[in-house]
Structure formats: C-alpha cells, structure tokens
Amino acid sequence: MTKKIILLTSVIFLSSCAGISIQDLGDKFLDLINPSDPAVEVEDLSDSVLMLDDESGSFSGEDLTDSGVSSEEQTRAQTETEVAVETLEDAGVSFVLYFSYDDTEIDEEATQVIIDHANFMRNNPGISLKLEGHADERGTREYNLALGENRALSVKEVLGLYGLENRVEVVSFGEEQPIAFTHDEDSWQKNRRVEFIYQ
C-alpha cells in the first residue's frame, strides 16, 4: 500500500509538470494498480515518456512509437536471427574454439570453423557477433583476462580478412566463467576457449 501511495504522489507531481489533467491521471493510476488487461497496459505505458524541456523547464509528453524501430520489428529481427543461428548449429558448425595452454594461435581446424562463421555472417548482414575469450585457472587474474582477450582478438583478426571486423565485439572473461571445475588437464582444456555469441 505504501508503494502505491508513493507511486501516486510521484505520478501526480510529474503529471502536474506535464499538464495532464487530474481525471486522466486518476484513470491511469487506477489502470496501473488494477489493470483489466496487464499486457495492454504495459505496452501502452512503454510507448510514451515524459521529457524535460530545457527552455521552459517543464515536462512534456513524447510518443515513442515513431522513434525508429517498432517492438514488432525488433521481435521479428530477433526471431530471424535465432532461426538463422539454429540453421548454422544444425549444419554442425562449432560455436566454441579451444586453445592450447598459454596459446592464442589459430590452427587449421579452427580456421575452417571461423571461415564457416564468416560465410554465415556475410549471408546474414544484419547479424553481429560477440567473441567471448576464456582461460583456465592457472596464472594471475590479470594475465588470464589478457589471454582471453588475445584469443578472441585472434579469431576477430581472421574474420577481419572477410571485412567483418566492424560487426564483431570482443569480450574477455579470463578464468571467471569456467565450464569445467576440476583441477586437471581435461578441465583446463575445456576452459581455454573462445565462444561465438550471435546478437
């Protein structure tokens, strides 16, 4: 109940700055605390925002529905990306490259995987890629962060040969996100990796 009172007070204050009538405000508040169709109310609220006018110092309402990409287009693009990525997975292309101890070199097998991803990206120009670099637990935290980054940068360098470097983001997690947790060579091998994450 306290949260509703605080919310009502905040809404009254902002609405008075924006010139919204008390009747409209009351209707909106009642819809907020007791919506008849929650999905519709949330969508309606997400389409507008109050903006501070620098010249007058007052708030004004702004409709976000005309501000570029609609939520339907975003959903459609996300779905298309997911379908394209699933097709790539179904083709048997690996989304993880593994590295030797303290190494960043790309071998022949890894090069072929990167080429498969490069062809995929060229056929899907709206898709971008995040390369996540990882290391095993040996070495200092700072060294492993740098090693993970250098592994991801090695992959990005090969993708750059195809003109894709502007669509590739590199992130390093170092030793912070292991996928195997025992302290032996088998686990360390699994943790020395670069993962391909499409967006």
Query: What CA–CA distance (Å, rounded) separates 96 from 193?
Result: 6
Is pLDDT above 50 for 81? yes
Q: How do residues 88-139 score in pLDDT, each as one tens digit?
A: 999 999 999 999 999 999 999 999 999 999 999 999 999 999 999 999 999 9
Q: Where in the chain is the domain with CATH 3.30.1330.60?
A: 71-198
CATH 3.30.1330.60 fits 71-198, yes or no: yes
* CA separation, residue 1 to residues 11, 20, 36 (Å): 15, 24, 19
pLDDT, averaged across the chain: 79
Q: How do residues 31-71 score in pLDDT, each as one tens digit?
A: 544 545 444 443 343 343 434 444 544 444 444 445 566 88
pTM to 2 decimal places: 0.64
19: its two tokens: 């010139």
Q: How do residues 149-198 score in pLDDT, each as one tens digit?
A: 999 999 999 999 999 999 999 999 999 999 999 999 999 999 999 999 99
70: its two tokens: 């609609």
Query: What CA–CA distance (Å, rounded) separates 187 from 15?
Result: 58
